[in-house]
Structures are given as C-alpha cells and as structure tokens.
C-alpha cells in the first residue's frame, strides 16, 4: 500500500471511480466543484484501485445490505418509539390526571419528535425528549450512509428501505403499543422499545462499520505517515482542512444544515414540503385511534389495528416507488448520453405529490364509511423516497448534512402539528380539517417537481455561487 503522487486527485467520496469519466463530463453534485487546487504537491492517498475492498461501495453485496438494514432498523425504532405510546395516551392521562385531548396529552407523543431537532408528568416528558434526542442520529446521518454504500444506479432500492423505516415505524408502533397497553400497562410500551433497541445495537456492532470515504482514507494516510515518516502524505480532504482551525471546521459543520435551509432554494422548498407531510402524519397519529374507540366503540387493541392500513400504504409506495425510481433514473440517464443529473429522480415525485392531497380528501370526507387513508400514505412514501434520493444525489459528500437539515425541519412539524389537531378537527370537522391539509400539500408539493425538473441546474448553480455548502 503506497502513497501516490496525484496533485489533481478529486475527493474519493464523489461518484464511484469506475464511473469517473462520466463524473468529469458533468458534475452532478455541489461537492464536485470543491476539490482543492493545491499550491504544493503533497502525496495524496486514494483507493488502491477501483476495486479496492476498503471502499464501502466495493464491500460485498451482502455486507452492504446488512449495513443498510441496520441503519434502517435504527431509523425504524426511533419513530416507532415515538408513536407507540399514542394508543396508551388515555391511560397515561388518567394516571397522571391530565385532561384527555389536551395539549399536554398530545405533547407526550410529539415532544419525542421535537428532540430530533433541537412530578411524574415532568419526568415522562423529559425522558421522552431525551429518547428522541438519541433517536435523532439515524435520521440525521442515515442518508449519508446510503450514499456512501451505493452508486446512483443502485441507490433507489436501498433508499426505499431507509425511507420506509421512519414511516412504517409510526404505523406499526401504535398497533404494538395498543396491545401492550391493553394486556400489560403503558410502562411496558417503553420497556419493550428499550429491549428491541438493545438487540439492534448488538447487531450493529458487528455489521455497521465506518462508511465515510474521507475518514477511511484518513486512517490509511495516518498509517502510511507512521510507517514511512513522510509527513507530506495526506488525503485531498485532509489537505483542504489543513489551513482551517479545528474550531472553525466544527462550527462550519454545525452550521451547514442551517445554511442549506436558509440559502439553498431547492432545500428550502423540499424541506418545507417534507415537513408538511411529516406533520400531517403525526397529526393523524394523535387523532386516528379516537375515531375507532369513541365513534365505533372498539377496544384499544382492535382500534390500533387500523394503523396497519397506514403501514400498507407506506409499504406499497416503497416497493412500487423503489423499482420505478431506479428504472426511470437509468432510462433518463441513457437518454442523456450517460450523464446523470439529480433531476432524474423527480418524475415519480410528481405522481406522489398529487396522491397525497387526493388521499387526504378521500379520508376526510369518507371517514364515516370507514374508507382509510391508504392513498395518502402511498403519496407520502413516494414523495419521501424521491425527495431523499434527490437530496442525496444533489449534495454528494454533504448528503448527511442535507438530510439532517430536512429531518430537523420535518421533525419540528411532527412536534407542532399534533398540538392543534384536536382543536382543528373539533372546529372544522374531519372533512374540512383534512381539506385544509390537502390544500397546503397541493400548493407546496405539486408545483415543486415540475419547477425543479426544469430549473434545478440553475438553482443548484445559484446555491454554489452563494457557497452552500462551505
């Protein structure tokens, strides 16, 4: 393993090396324009070959899927724990002397989601917040891990599993939570998630290794410096950071997600749309069970089974969307002379953006006939899948920061929406309440994929001119 003299080397965590000629012809991420132009000639360390087994994209197919599955399981457990308490809220309210339907009752569910971004009742809310704080990690960095492991042509299927996790978690959580609360007590809702998390943690210790290419190459460079005594050996990423103080590097990393939201128009609109979807989902979580328990007299356990329709919508959208996403991407790439662009992820988003408001209207106005909200869930998962894959393709090396920006924004909505759900439906009714949500989703979501498909390159160029990210 020898250091190589490559002063013009691009950072290794861009698109795979075997596709390098294509990447040079048309940069597809902001990061492609950020490789340093060194004034001296250090020995840059890179992968030994395009087939270097240390490159996460060259790990065995089984290992990459195992790592993807572990990240997805962590991402699944976090929102599952956030929603699992929903059917038990009446029990919690009675035991802690809360008024049913109050803001404090809703906060027992939604304060968990607030922690993603930022007496007995006090400790319940405080520790729910801390649990959400811990559960924010896979939501923040999972998208970056998927980008590290999979090439763009393979990424749709992997992203479908990852995108499905934060949506099926809230759907399955109330089903399990309802039966646990009915057969045991609401405390076992929390005990059970802790046990499941411990099991996944043990699996992760075996399968989940470092996937970030600059970090892997930095370790390789350190070993070479130690064995040769040549301090000029470094990676391109290390060379870029040498003139930057550590405190400034940390501050830049912490502020990057905020800069994405404030100065990148693509990120601002996508984050807002995903926040509406996520907030709508959590708003429905806090009100869905009450329809079946209060209007139809079902037990907590039976009422919780209705959440399976939500999970069915998410699963159908993920399975259909993943196959369509990769197929559309390959077709458009071939039609574009083999040059990929992030906008090739958007056609499916256009379909999903119409299904969400249509499904909300269907659910709201036919609730008394028990027609469930399967259709909006297909729209949500299709939109989640397209948005996250589009963001990962657009921001390359900084995919984790970009996904973290979106996750933070949507999690604030997931916290806030349930707080006004009861009063909104009491004042407007289920039909008009869902009509308001459908209108918001229609105005924000439907024009976005068409505008970004046409003007995406110009908007990304505008973001680069504003030095986003730095």
> What are the DSSP calls for 355-389, one per residue?
HHHHHHHHHHHTGGGT--SHHHHHHHHHHHHHHHH
Contact status, residue 343 vs residue 280, Cβ threshold 8 Å: no
Question: What are the pLDDT digits (tens) for 148-160?
Answer: 888 877 777 787 7
Interacting residues of 306 by C-beta distance below 8 A, sequence separation 6+: 288, 289, 292, 372
* H or E element in which residue 438 lies: helix 399-445
> What pairs with residue 235 in β-bridges?
none
| 44: three-class secondary structure by DSSP | strand
Percent of the chain with pLDDT over 70: 67
Q: Which residue has the tokens 């749709």?
A: 156
Most confident of 80-84, 89-93, 379-383: 80-84
Give the residue, 385 or 29, on which the prediction is more confident.
385
> What pairs with residue 43 in β-bridges?
233
Least confident of 113-117, 284-288, 362-366: 113-117
From the number of C-beta atoms within 10 Å of its C-beta (0-12, 13-18, 19+), residue 253 rates as middle
What's the pLDDT at 28? 38
**Distance between start and end Cα atoms, the chain:** 32
Distance of CA 61 to the CA centre of its chain: 22
Question: Which superfamily does 56-211+255-465 belong to?
Answer: MFS general substrate transporter like domains (1.20.1250.20)
Predicted model pTM: 0.59
Mean pLDDT of 169-175: 76
What's the pLDDT at 16? 40
Residue 438 tokens read as 């459908």
What are the φ/ψ torsions at residue 43 (nearest 5 degrees)? -85, 105
**What is the rounded distance in angstroms from the CA atom of residue 118 to the CA atom of residue 122?**
18
What's the pLDDT at 351? 77
Most confident of 138-147, 215-224, 281-290, 355-364: 215-224
**What is the rounded distance in angstroms from the CA atom of residue 357 to the CA atom of residue 376?**
7
Interacting residues of 388 by C-beta distance below 8 A, sequence separation 6+: 143, 159, 162, 163, 403, 406
Distance of CA 180 to the CA centre of its chain: 28
Res. 327: pLDDT tops 70: yes
Give the residue, 281 or 335, on which the prediction is more confident.
335
Residue 73 tokens read as 């399981």
Contact status, residue 228 vs residue 441, Cβ threshold 8 Å: no
């Amino acid at each position: 393993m020898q250091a190589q003299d490559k002063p013009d080397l691009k950072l290794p965590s861009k698109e795979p090396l075997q596709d390098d000629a294509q990447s040079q012809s048309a940069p597809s991420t902001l990061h492609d324009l950020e490789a340093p132009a060194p004034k001296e000639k250090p020995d840059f360390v890179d992968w030994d070959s395009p087939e270097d087994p240390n490159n996460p994209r060259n790990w065995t197919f089984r290992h990459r899927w195992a790592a993807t599955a572990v990240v997805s399981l962590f991402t699944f457990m976090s929102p599952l724990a956030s929603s699992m308490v929903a059917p038990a809220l009446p029990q919690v309210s009675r035991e802690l002397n809360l008024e049913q339907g109050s803001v404090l009752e809703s906060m027992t569910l939604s304060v968990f989601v607030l922690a993603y971004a930022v007496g007995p009742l006090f400790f319940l809310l405080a520790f729910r917040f801390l649990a959400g704080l811990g559960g924010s990690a896979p939501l923040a960095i999972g998208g970056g891990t998927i980008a590290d492991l999979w090439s763009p042509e393979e990424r749709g299927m992997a992203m479908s599993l990852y995108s499905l996790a934060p949506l099926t978690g809230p759907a399955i959580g109330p089903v399990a939570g309802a039966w646990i609360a009915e057969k045991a007590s609401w405390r076992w809702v929390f005990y059970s998630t802790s046990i499941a998390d411990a099991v996944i943690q043990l699996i992760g210790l075996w399968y989940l290794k470092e996937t970030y290419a600059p970090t892997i190459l930095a370790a390789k460079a350190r070993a070479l410096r130690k064995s040769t005594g040549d301090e000029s050996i470094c990676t391109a990423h290390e060379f870029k950071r040498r003139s930057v103080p550590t405190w400034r590097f940390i501050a830049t990393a912490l502020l990057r997600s905020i800069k994405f939201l404030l100065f990148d128009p693509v990120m601002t609109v996508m984050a807002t749309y995903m926040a509406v979807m996520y907030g709508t989902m959590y708003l429905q979580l806090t009100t869905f069970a009450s329809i079946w328990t209060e209007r139809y007299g079902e037990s907590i356990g039976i009422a919780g089974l209705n959440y399976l329709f939500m999970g069915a919508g998410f699963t159908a959208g993920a399975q259909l969307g993943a196959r369509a996403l990769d197929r559309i991407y390959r077709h458009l790439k071939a039609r574009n002379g083999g040059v990929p662009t992030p906008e090739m992820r958007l056609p499916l988003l256009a379909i999903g953006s119409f299904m969400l408001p249509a499904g909300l209207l269907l659910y709201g106005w036919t609730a008394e006939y028990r027609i469930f909200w399967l259709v909006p869930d297909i729209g949500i998962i299709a939109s989640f899948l397209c948005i996250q894959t589009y963001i990962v393709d657009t921001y390359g090396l900084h995919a984790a920061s970009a996904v973290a920006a979106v996750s933070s924004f949507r999690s604030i909505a997931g916290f806030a929406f349930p707080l006004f759900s009861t009063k909104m439906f009491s004042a407007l009714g289920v039909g008009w309440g869902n009509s308001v949500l459908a209108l918001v989703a229609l105005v924000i979501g439907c024009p976005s994929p068409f505008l970004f498909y046409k003007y995406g390159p110009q908007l990304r160029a505008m973001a680069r001119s504003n030095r986003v990210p730095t």
